[in-house]
C-alpha cells in the first residue's frame, strides 16, 4: 500500500496502480476522455492533467503510477487553466452539432465544456471539414468531424475483439479515425465502440435519431437474449424500450455486451399480447381474464378429473424469472398433478467471449428448479412423440420457443391436441393455435431474478409499467388455485417466493434477495 | 369625494354620455376615438415582447427549421410538446417527424423559444386556439409551420435578447498568469 495526499486529504492506495483510477474510485471528478478501465492506457487526450509535487510539469494522471508520499493537486488554478487550454484545443475543430447529435446529454465534451470551456471561440478560421455520416459498418455510423481522437474505439477493436477494423489514418491535424477499405466494422461487439466513444463520433445506427437520452429512464437489469446474463441498463421512454446499454460487472461482462443482445429489445415493444383469448368452435375471441383463467383451468382440469394427468405435459419457457418458474413448478406438480415437463431452449452460435449458445436468459434457473429434462425423463422430443402418438392430449406451453424447436411440423403436432393453453408475451402462430391464450409479460416489466449459465443469480427490475396486466407468475398462481393447488394465500410476490426458493433449493440456500445487489451472487453450484 | 347618493349616479351618467357624444361626433367627422377593437376583423396591436402561441419557423424551402433536438420538449414546464425525431438524407440530418403542441396545456411561458438553439420555435402573436373538441387543441407540425417573414418582429426581438445574454458570465482564461 502506498500513502498519497490528494487535495490535502491523505489515504492509502494499492501499489502499482495508476493515479487516475485511484482518484475516480475516491469519487473525485477528474475529466478524462481516452482512459477506460478495461482498455490499455493511451494518454492521448491530455485532459486528466494533475499537479504532482516534485515533477517539473503537470502530468497526466492516467499514466502516472502512484508512489508513496505523493502529493497531488487535482483542482488548483494551474491544473484548471491547463485543462481549459486542452479543452479549447479539442473544441477548435469540433462542430456545433449538439442539437442533432445523439450523444448530447451524455457527452463528455459537453460536460467538460460546461465546466472548463469558454463561452465563445477565439479562433476565426473556418472549422475543419471532414466526412460526416460515414457508413463504417452495419450497426455503427461514424462522424469524423466530431471525433477527438481519443482512440478508445481503436484500442477496443485491437484489444477486446482483436479484429482491428478501426485505425487512425494520416498525421497531425489531418488525423482521422476510419476503417480500411472494404473491411467494415462488423464484429459481434461493434456497438460497444459507440458506447465508449466519449463524444458523438461513433453512434449506434439502431438508436440514431430515435430519442434524446435525457428522456430515457434507465433501469438496471440483465440482458434476456442469451444465458451469459450481461448486466444492462434498459433505456425506456414513453412506454417503450429504446435501447440496452451494458452496465459494468467484472464477473460477467466487464463493460461490454454483444450487438445481438443489445438489439434484441424489440419484442418488448412490438406485437404484444394484451388481452386473453379463448377459442371456441374454431373462432377465437377476446375475453376477460377471469373467464380465460376459468376456461383454461376447466379444460386442463378436465383431464386431471378424468384421472389422466399423464395425458398432460408442460413446456417450460427459459425466459421466465426464477420466481415464476418456481410457481410454474408448483402449478405443474400441485395443480396439474403432472410429471411431464421440459425447458424449450433455442440454441445458436456462441463464441468464447460473451455470446453463449443458449438463447434465453434463465435456462440454468429452470434446470436448477427441477423443471428441465432429466428430473423426470421427459424431453421436448418425448413430448412431441407423446402428442403424435396420442398419449399426450393436453399441453400447457409457456413462451413460444418450442415452435422453432419443432420446426415445420410444429403446427401439425399442436393441432392434434385436445387442450392447448399458451402463456406468451408476443403474438405468434403458436398463440393463434391455442385454445386459451394468456398474455405474459416480458422481462422489462417484471421484478425477479435470472440465473446465468455460470450460476450467478442476478436481479432484474421493472422498467415499464404493465398497468393492470398480471405477470406470468400471477397467472400461474391463479391457474393453480383454480386447479386445486395448495399454496399460501396472497398475490404473486417475487421477493417472498425467492425466499421460498432459497429455503427449498439447496444450491440457492445461501442467497438472499436483498443481498443480491446490482451485481448478483453465485449459487453454490456455480 | 361623495360617492353615495343620487349625485354619484348623475356623475356616472355624465361620463357615459360624454363618451357617447364624443364617439358620435368622431364617427361623423371620420375620426373615431373609441378604444374597442373590431375583433376578429381587426386585431389588437401588440408589442414584440408579446407571447402568443408558439409556432414553428418555416424556411423558404417550405421545411421546418427545427432539428428535433428536444430541448423545448425538455424545457416545457407543462409537457405540452411531443417530438419524434427522424433522419433525412439532407445536410442537416435530423428533422421532427412528429411535432405536436397541446395548446390546451400550453401556458405561453416562452421557455421553449428560449431553449431553442435554432430559432425554430418562436412565440407568435396568434392567440386564437379555440376549438370545438379536445382533440382539436393538439396542433401538429403542419398547423404550426409559419413562414419566417411573418415572424420577423419576434425574431428581431429574440435576437436582441441574445446580445444581452452574450455578456460573459464565465471568467475568461487569462493569457498571462
Distance of CA A365 to the CA centre of its chain: 17
Integer Cα distance of A514 and B73 in angstroms: 38
For chain B, the distance separating the N- and C-terminal CA atoms, rounded to the nearest angstrom, is 72
Which 3 state secondary structure label does DSSP give A146?
Answer: helix
Partner residue opposite B172 with nearest CB, options A98, A100, A118: A118
Residue B85 sits at the chain A interface (C-beta within 8 Å): yes
Q: Which chain B residues touch A83 with a CB distance below 8 Å?
A: none
- Residue A526: is its pLDDT beyond 70? no
Cell (9 digits) for A304: 386431471
Closest partner residue to B173 (CB to CB) among A84, A100, A212 is A84
Interface A–B counts its CB contacts (< 8 A) at: 50
- Topology (CATH level 3) of domain A2-91: Ubiquitin-like (UB roll) (3.10.20)
Query: What pLDDT score does A439 carry?
Result: 94
How far off is chain B from A103, nearest CA to CA, in Å? Answer: 11
A99/B172 touch (CB, cutoff 8 Å), yes or no = no
Q: How many CA atoms lie within 13 A of A220 on its CB side?
A: 12
Three cell numbers, residue B173: 482564461
pLDDT at A370: 87
- pTM for this entry: 0.87
pLDDT of residue B176: 46
Q: What is the pLDDT of residue B1?
A: 52
pLDDT of residue A50: 95
Contact state of A212 with B69 under an 8 Å Cβ cutoff: yes
Per-residue pLDDT tens for A140-166? 999 999 999 999 999 999 999 999 999
The burial class, CB within 10 Å (0-12 / 13-18 / 19+), for B176 is: exposed
* CATH number for the domain running over A124-269: 3.30.70.20
Q: What is the largest CA-CA distance in chain B?
A: 82
Instruction: Give the separation between CA A448 and CA A461, rounded to whole angstroms.
Output: 7
Contacts of B171 in chain A (CB under 8 A): none
User: CA A425, CA A439: separation in Å to the nearest integer?
Assistant: 5
* Interface contact flag, B69 A81, Cβ < 8 Å: no
Coil, strand or helix: which one is A414?
helix
Confidence of residue A302 (pLDDT cuts 50, 70, 90): confident
Domain extents for chain B? 9-45, 54-165
Rounded to an integer, the average pLDDT of A372-376 is: 68
Of the candidate ranges A161-175, A256-270, A282-296, B24-38, the one whose mean pLDDT is the lowest: B24-38
Flag if A118 and B169 touch (Cβ within 8 Å): no
pLDDT of residue B167: 61
Between CA A391 and CA A308 the distance in angstroms is 10
A209 touching B (Cβ < 8 Å):
yes
Query: Residues 83 to 102 of A: which have CB under 8 A from any B CB?
Result: 84-85, 88, 98-100
User: Given B69, B86, B170, which is nearest A99 (Cβ)?
Assistant: B69
Quote the strand ranges of A333-491, DSSP E. 341-343, 394-398, 419-424, 436-439, 448-451, 456-460
Question: What local confidence, expressed as pLDDT, does residue A475 receive?
Answer: 93
**Residue in B70, B90, B92, B121 to test binding to A, most A beta-carbons within 10 Å:** B70
Q: How far is CA A178 from CA A34, A136, A147, A199, in A?
A: 17, 7, 11, 16
| DSSP, residue by residue, A470-515 | PPHHHHHHHHHHHTT----SS---HHHHHHHHHHH-GGGTT--GGG
Using the predicted structure, report yes or no on whether residue A271 has a pLDDT greater than 60: yes
Q: Which residue has the higher pLDDT, A335 or A498?
A: A498
Per-residue pLDDT of chain B (177 residues; tens, 9 = 90+): 556 778 888 989 999 999 888 888 887 887 767 667 788 888 888 899 999 999 999 999 999 999 999 999 999 999 999 999 999 988 888 999 999 999 999 999 999 999 999 999 999 998 888 888 877 889 999 999 999 999 999 999 998 887 776 665 555 555 544
CATH of B54-165, picked from 3.30.70.260, 3.40.190.10, 3.30.70.3270, 3.30.1330.10, is 3.30.70.3270
Instruction: Evaluate whether A2-91 and A277-442+469-493 have a shared fold.
Output: no
Write out the DSSP string of A152-167.
HHHHIIIIIS----EE
For A307-342, the DSSP string reads: T-GGGEEEEEPTTS-HHHHHHHHHIIIIIS----EE
Do you know the residue count of chain A? 526
Task: Check B94 against A209: CB less than 8 A apart.
Answer: yes
- Would you tell me which CATH number, out of the four given (3.40.50.740, 3.20.20.450, 3.40.50.300, 3.30.1360.10), belongs to the domain A277-442+469-493? 3.40.50.740
Biggest distance spanned by C-alpha atoms of chain A:
90
Contact A100 B94 (CB under 8 A): yes
Q: Is the peptide bond before B40 cis (omega within 30 degrees of 0)?
A: yes
Q: Are A423 and A472 in contact (CB under 8 A)?
A: yes
Domain ranges of chain A: 2-91, 124-269, 277-442+469-493
Query: What cell does B17 get?
Result: 354620455
Query: Which band of pLDDT confidence, cut at 50, 70 and 90, is reported for residue A310?
Result: confident
Q: Where does residue A211 rank: exposed (0-12), middle (13-18), buried (19+ CB within 10 A)?
A: buried
Q: Give A134's DSSP letter.
A: B
Q: Least CA distance to B83: which residue of chain A?
A: A211
Measured between alpha carbons, how far is A95 from B93 in angstroms, rounded to an integer?
A: 14
Amino acid at each position: 500500500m502506498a500513502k498519497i495526499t490528494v487535495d490535502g486529504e491523505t489515504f492509502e492506495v494499492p501499489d502499482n496502480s495508476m493515479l487516475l483510477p485511484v482518484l475516480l474510485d475516491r469519487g473525485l471528478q477528474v475529466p478524462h476522455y481516452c482512459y477506460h478501465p478495461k482498455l490499455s492506457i493511451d494518454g492521448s487526450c491530455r485532459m486528466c492533467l494533475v499537479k504532482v509535487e516534485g515533477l517539473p510539469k503537470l502530468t497526466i494522471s492516467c499514466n502516472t503510477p502512484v508512489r508513496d508520499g505523493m502529493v497531488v493537486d487535482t483542482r488548483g488554478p494551474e491544473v484548471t487553466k491547463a485543462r481549459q487550454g486542452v479543452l479549447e484545443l479539442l473544441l477548435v475543430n469540433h462542430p456545433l452539432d449538439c442539437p442533432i447529435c445523439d450523444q448530447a446529454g451524455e457527452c463528455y465534451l459537453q460536460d467538460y465544456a460546461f465546466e472548463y470551456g469558454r463561452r465563445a471561440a477565439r479562433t476565426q478560421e473556418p472549422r475543419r471539414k471532414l466526412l460526416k455520416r460515414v457508413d463504417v459498418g452495419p450497426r455503427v455510423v461514424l462522424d469524423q468531424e466530431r471525433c477527438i481522437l481519443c482512440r478508445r474505439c481503436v484500442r477496443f477493436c485491437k484489444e477486446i475483439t482483436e479484429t482491428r477494423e478501426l485505425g487512425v489514418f494520416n498525421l497531425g491535424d489531418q488525423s482521422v479515425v476510419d476503417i480500411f477499405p472494404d473491411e467494415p466494422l462488423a464484429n459481434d461487439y461493434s456497438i460497444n465502440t459507440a458506447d465508449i466513444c466519449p463524444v458523438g463520433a461513433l453512434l449506434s445506427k439502431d438508436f440514431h435519431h430515435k430519442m434524446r437520452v435525457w428522456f430515457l429512464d434507465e433501469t438496471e437489469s440483465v440482458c434476456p437474449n442469451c444465458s451469459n446474463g450481461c448486466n444492462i441498463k434498459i433505456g425506456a421512454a414513453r412506454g417503450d424500450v429504446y435501447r440496452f446499454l451494458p452496465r459494468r460487472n467484472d464477473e460477467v461482462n466487464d463493460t461490454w455486451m454483444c450487438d445481438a443482445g443489445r438489439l434484441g429489445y424489440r419484442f418488448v415493444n412490438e406485437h404484444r399480447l394484451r388481452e386473453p383469448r379463448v377459442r371456441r368452435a374454431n373462432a377465437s375471441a377476446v375475453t376477460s381474464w377471469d373467464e380465460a383463467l376459468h376456461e383454461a383451468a376447466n379444460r386442463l382440469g378436465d383431464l386431471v378429473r378424468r384421472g389422466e394427468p399423464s395425458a398432460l405435459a408442460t413446456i417450460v419457457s427459459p425466459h421466465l424469472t426464477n420466481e415464476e418458474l418456481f410457481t410454474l413448478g408448483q402449478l405443474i406438480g400441485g395443480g396439474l398433478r403432472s410429471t411431464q415437463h421440459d425447458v424449450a431452449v433455442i440454441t445458436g452460435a456462441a463464441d468464447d467471449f460473451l455470446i453463449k449458445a443458449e438463447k434465453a436468459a434463465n435456462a440454468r434457473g429452470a434446470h436448477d428448479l427441477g423443471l428441465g429434462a432429466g428430473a423426470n425423463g421427459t424431453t421436448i422430443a418425448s413430448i412431441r412423440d407423446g402428442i403424435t402418438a396420442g398419449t399426450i392430449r393436453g399441453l400447457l406451453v409457456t413462451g413460444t420457443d418450442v415452435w422453432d424447436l419443432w420446426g415445420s411440423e410444429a403446427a401439425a403436432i399442436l393441432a392434434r391436441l385436445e387442450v392447448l393453453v399458451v402463456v406468451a408475451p408476443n403474438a405468434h402462430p403458436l398463440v393463434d393455435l391455442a385454445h386459451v391464450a394468456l398474455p405474459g409479460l416480458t422481462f422489462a416489466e417484471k421484478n425477479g431474478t435470472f440465473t446465468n449459465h455460470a450460476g450467478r443469480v442476478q436481479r432484474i427490475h421493472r422498467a415499464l409499467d404493465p398497468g393492470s396486466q398480471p405477470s406470468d407468475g400471477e397467472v400461474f398462481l391463479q391457474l393453480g388455485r383454480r386447479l386445486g393447488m395448495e399454496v399460501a394465500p396472497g398475490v404473486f410476490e417475487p421477493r417472498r417466493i425467492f425466499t421460498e426458493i432459497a429455503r427449498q433449493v439447496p444450491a440457492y440456500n445461501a442467497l438472499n434477495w436483498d443481498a443480491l445487489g446490482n451485481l448478483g451472487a453465485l449459487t453454490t453450484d456455480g | 369625494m361623495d360617492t353615495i347618493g343620487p349625485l354619484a349616479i348623475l356623475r356616472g351618467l355624465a361620463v357615459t354620455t360624454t363618451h357617447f357624444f364624443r364617439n358620435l361626433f368622431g364617427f361623423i367627422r371620420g375620426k373615431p376615438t373609441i378604444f374597442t377593437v373590431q375583433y376578429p376583423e381587426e386585431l389588437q396591436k401588440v408589442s414584440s415582447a408579446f407571447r402568443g402561441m408558439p409556432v414553428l419557423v418555416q424556411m423558404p424551402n417550405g421545411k421546418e427549421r427545427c432539428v428535433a433536438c428536444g430541448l423545448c420538449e425538455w424545457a416545457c414546464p407543462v409537457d405540452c410538446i411531443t417530438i419524434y425525431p427522424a433522419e433525412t438524407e439532407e445536410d442537416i440530418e435530423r428533422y421532427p417527424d412528429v411535432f405536436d403542441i397541446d395548446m390546451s396545456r400550453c401556458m405561453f411561458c416562452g421557455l421553449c423559444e428560449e431553449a431553442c438553439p435554432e430559432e425554430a420555435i418562436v412565440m407568435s402573436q396568434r392567440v386564437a386556439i379555440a376549438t370545438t373538441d379536445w382533440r382539436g387543441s393538439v396542433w401538429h407540425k403542419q398547423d404550426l409551420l409559419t413562414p419566417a417573414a411573418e415572424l420577423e418582429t419576434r425574431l428581431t426581438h429574440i435576437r436582441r435578447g441574445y446580445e444581452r445574454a452574450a455578456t460573459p458570465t464565465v471568467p475568461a482564461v487569462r493569457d498571462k498568469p
